[in-house]
Amino acid sequence: MNVIEASNLSKNYGGTQALRDCTFTIPSGHVVALVGPNGAGKSTLLNLAVGLLVPSAGGLTVLGGHTPGSRTARNGIAYVAQDTPLYANLSATDMMHLTRNLNLRFDWAYAETRLDELGIPPTRKAGKLSGGQRAQLALTLALSRRPTLLILDEPVAMLDPIARHDFMATVLAAAVDDGVSVLLSSHVLAELERVADYLVLMSQGRVQVDGEVDDLLSSHRVLTGRADEVLTDTTYRVVHSRRGEVQTQLIVQTTDRGRVPSGWESHPIGLEELALAYLREPDFLALPVRSTASTTRARR
């Protein structure tokens, strides 16, 4: 099942085009990193997926073909917005009551257990909690709905390193233990590299790269050579280049993973380095890897 599938998806705000002809699929069973600079269209895409916006053109379905905002979609998708919205004057228990009353499904025992494990007092008002505790409370409320897909929009942007690490550990545990698919938008690439096994990279309102992280990393390399070295091997496609006085460094995509072009040294690439290479070249819009539901596999 594809938890999200978009076809020629576009969204306009007046004369501004936030999304342009986006076509991609996100299979179930993954922790998906949605990466891109400010203004790339990430939040617009997430709001379309949860039914808060409607497309200007093209289409988007969720949870195996359902319309965003439909009863099935609302019941199967949990969403934590960027500012982890909570009512400051309501206690954690009050927030649990509110969430249970507004949704068809809510696992009260799970929520109580998680708050106890996190040391969050059930009677303390949300406005009196630390930033990390508020984020964990919002995540607990979302997970207690027992969703098929959990969507998180910049949930760790304002957290300190320890709170960020603990939050991401909870997300990963939900994915592994409960089989929840996760779509996570964030600028914190180092954290995403630790948990994500699927990447959707956006720039200028378009999807530049989407696919399994393992496939993307294995099909890209870092090549280093002399400053005057020229890459003539056509099986390598240059994504980004940096030329210094002594050395040239290239981020390349290749279909011939076992061969190194003459005059160059080849090195493996990390997720953060790969994402930054594409973000530095926003007009490089060819899709290097497209995973399909039939070939996708989770790393868990």
Other Cβ atoms closer than 10 A to 121: 14
- Say whether pLDDT at 258 is over 50: yes
Last residue of a domain, one of 181, 196, 212: 212
Pairing of strands 247-254, 220-226: antiparallel
Query: Residue 85: how many CB atoms within 10 A of its CB?
Result: 10
Which of the four pLDDT bands, split at 50, 70 and 90, describes residue 282?
Answer: low
Same domain, 21 and 135: yes
Domain that holds residue 231: 215-279
Residues 11 and 147 in one domain: yes
If you average pLDDT over residues 180-191, what whole number do you get?
85
pLDDT of 174-184, one tens digit each? 888 889 999 99
Residues 155 and 255 in one domain: no
Q: Are residues 57 and 176 in the same domain?
A: yes
pLDDT tens for residues 225-251? Answer: 998 888 888 888 888 998 888 899 999
60, 4 in Cβ contact below 8 A?
yes
Shared-domain flag, residues 30 and 91: yes
Residue 42 lies in a domain: yes
Answer yes or no: is pLDDT of 26 > 60. Answer: yes
In a domain? residue 28: yes
Contact present, 110 and 144 (Cβ < 8 Å): yes
Residues 185 and 265 occupy one common structural domain: no
Q: Per the domain annotation, does 291 fall within a domain? A: no
- Whether 152 and 241 share a structural domain: no
In angstroms, the CA 202 to CA 207 distance is: 4
CATH of the domain at 196: 3.40.50.300
Q: How many domains does the chain have?
A: 2
